[in-house]
């Protein structure tokens, strides 16, 4: 049985506390009116607002018509400045919400990706992976607390408690014919109902799979393996449909005027590579602590193969989506990428290097896949790259040009990382690290590539 070290437990709690304090501080320091926005812009050297604010009207002619024209010109400039400040105010107020949302979804998608990988291995009756099932079950334990927080954030956003989803603002929808046409799907009630169905189905499968896994410890036959096989096959059908719809609701709708038919697959690829990478990192960590002695270099090699393969698959989907939209140059489609290239150039191109070039160079060689520190290094880069990918997916539609990496982003990552570590490693203590009565467990223990 695994025992949670007190140092690791304290490490996770400290991260959660520091992160929570930072999240609260980021909300408290967000501007509450346009005057504060003007002060912040001035403090950051943005003279645009200051120039508008100090602009005075001087009558340079006795001609009354010219004076009236100047008055109208000044009034229009003032209105333009107020509109700009109001827009920036909404962006800066969105920033802590968006940072919280990105970090919440990032760790949630890791757990969901592992759940799908777990189901695939059961449905395929894979012989190499059963020695890793307890690690997978522990990671998926995060689905419950992570899913609850995700659901709360979605409800707050869908019912316009914040300004994350532009389609949730009735005033915006009233002046936007396209959003009116999509209102049958994009509405707060529909978002919450669908989220409840998605989360309920995913957590229900996880609950029964773990229940059968625990029950198999006390029998001498394969009845629970067969039950898990059946529910895994059914779950994968449910998952493929709900994952696509989840990606539309939870991510693509931040840019409601734009859509891509590849989007669900794109999110799935990122989800799977992050989940498999996390399995590898936790497995290597446990082995370094003297656990999982039945896991050998061939298991690590296969995990690294999946990390490499899904990284290439993610890149293929990214390029397919980008190339077709960019080449077609249809204004309502290409504006999605123009916004990101012009306003998010560093993270946009940086995440391509992190998510494609690094895995390609570090994991192409078969021998490197067996070197633990190489896999750990690549895994950290992959996870960082996919966090940046989520950042680029969400920030343009919520925070726009007011983005920067600051207290909200760092604090949110610290909090959810601490929560993830605490939940996962606590779950590892609930059952023996080696599953019993699995018909493939002997094959898995003796597996060599």
Residue 79 lies in a domain: no
Residue 39 lies in a domain: no
The predicted pLDDT at position 59 comes to 38
- The model's pLDDT over 153-208, given as tens digits with 9 standing for 90+, comes to 999 999 988 889 999 999 999 999 999 999 999 999 999 999 999 999 999 999 99
Residue 339 lies in a domain: yes
Residue 45 lies in a domain: no
Among 369, 349, 372, 367, smallest CA distance to 359 is for 369
Rounded distance between C-alpha atoms, residue 357 and residue 369, angstroms: 16
The predicted pLDDT at position 401 comes to 86
Rounded distance between C-alpha atoms, residue 371 and residue 42, angstroms: 51
The predicted pLDDT at position 78 comes to 54
| Whether the Cβ atoms of residue 322 and residue 260 lie closer than 8 Å to each other | no
Rounded distance between C-alpha atoms, residue 131 and residue 448, angstroms: 13
Q: Which residues of the chain have pLDDT under 50?
A: 47-69, 71, 75
Residue 53 lies in a domain: no
Stated as kind and residue range, the H or E segment containing 108 is: helix 64-123
Residue 77 lies in a domain: no
The predicted pLDDT at position 94 comes to 87
**Domain region containing 369:** 95-445
SS3 57: coil
The predicted pLDDT at position 76 comes to 54
Residue 4 lies in a domain: no
Q: Tell me the CB-side half-sphere exposure of residue 63, using CA atoms within 13 A.
A: 5
Residue 25 lies in a domain: no
pTM value is 0.90
Rounded distance between C-alpha atoms, residue 36 and residue 42, angstroms: 10
Rounded distance between C-alpha atoms, residue 112 and residue 9, angstroms: 23
The predicted pLDDT at position 437 comes to 83
Cβ atoms within 10 Å, residue 33: 10
Overall number of domains in the chain: 1
């Amino acid at each position: 049985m695994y025992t949670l070290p007190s140092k690791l437990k304290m490490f996770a709690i400290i991260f959660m506390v520091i992160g929570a304090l930072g999240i609260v501080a980021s909300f408290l320091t967000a501007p509450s009116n346009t005057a504060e926005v003007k002060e912040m812009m001035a403090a950051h050297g943005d003279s645009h607002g200051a120039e508008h604010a100090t602009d005075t009207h001087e009558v340079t002619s006795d001609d009354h018509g010219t004076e009236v024209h100047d008055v109208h010109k000044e009034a229009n400039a003032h209105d333009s400045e107020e509109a700009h400040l109001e827009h920036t105010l909404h962006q800066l107020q969105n920033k802590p919400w968006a940072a919280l949302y990105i970090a919440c979804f990032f760790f949630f998608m890791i757990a969901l990706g592992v759940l799908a990988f777990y189901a695939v291995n059961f449905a395929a009756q894979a012989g190499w992976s059963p020695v890793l099932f307890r690690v997978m079950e522990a990671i998926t334990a995060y689905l419950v607390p992570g899913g609850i927080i995700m659901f709360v954030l979605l409800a707050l956003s869908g019912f316009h408690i914040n300004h994350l989803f532009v389609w949730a603002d009735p005033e915006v929808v009233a002046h936007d014919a396209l959003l009116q046409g999509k209102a049958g799907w994009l509405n707060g009630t529909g978002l919450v109902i669908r989220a409840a169905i998605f989360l309920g189905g995913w957590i229900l499968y996880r609950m029964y799979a773990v229940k059968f896994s625990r029950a198999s410890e006390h029998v001498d036959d394969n009845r629970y393996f067969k039950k898990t096989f059946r529910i895994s096959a059914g779950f994968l059908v449910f998952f493929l449909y709900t994952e696509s719809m989840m990606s539309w609701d939870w991510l693509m709708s931040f840019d409601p005027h734009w859509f891509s038919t590849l989007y669900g697959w794109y999110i799935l690829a990122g989800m799977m590579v992050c989940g498999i990478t996390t399995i590898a990192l936790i497995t290597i960590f446990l082995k370094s602590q003297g656990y999982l002695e039945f896991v050998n270099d061939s298991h690590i090699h296969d995990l690294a193969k999946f990390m490499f393969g899904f990284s290439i698959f993610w890149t293929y989907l990214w390029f397919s989506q980008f190339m077709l939209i960019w080449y077609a140059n249809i204004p309502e489609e290409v504006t999605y990428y123009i916004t990101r290239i012009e306003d998010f150039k560093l993270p946009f191109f940086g995440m391509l290097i992190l998510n494609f070039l690094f895995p390609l160079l570090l994991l192409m060689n078969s021998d490197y896949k067996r070197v633990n520190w190489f896999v750990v290094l690549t895994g950290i880069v992959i996870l960082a790259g996919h966090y940046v990918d989520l950042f680029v997916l969400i920030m343009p539609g919520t925070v726009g040009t007011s983005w920067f990496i600051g207290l909200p982003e760092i604090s949110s990552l610290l909090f959810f990382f601490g929560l993830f570590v605490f939940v996962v490693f606590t779950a590892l203590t609930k059952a023996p690290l080696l599953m019993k009565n699995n018909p493939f467990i002997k094959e898995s223990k003796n597996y060599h590539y």
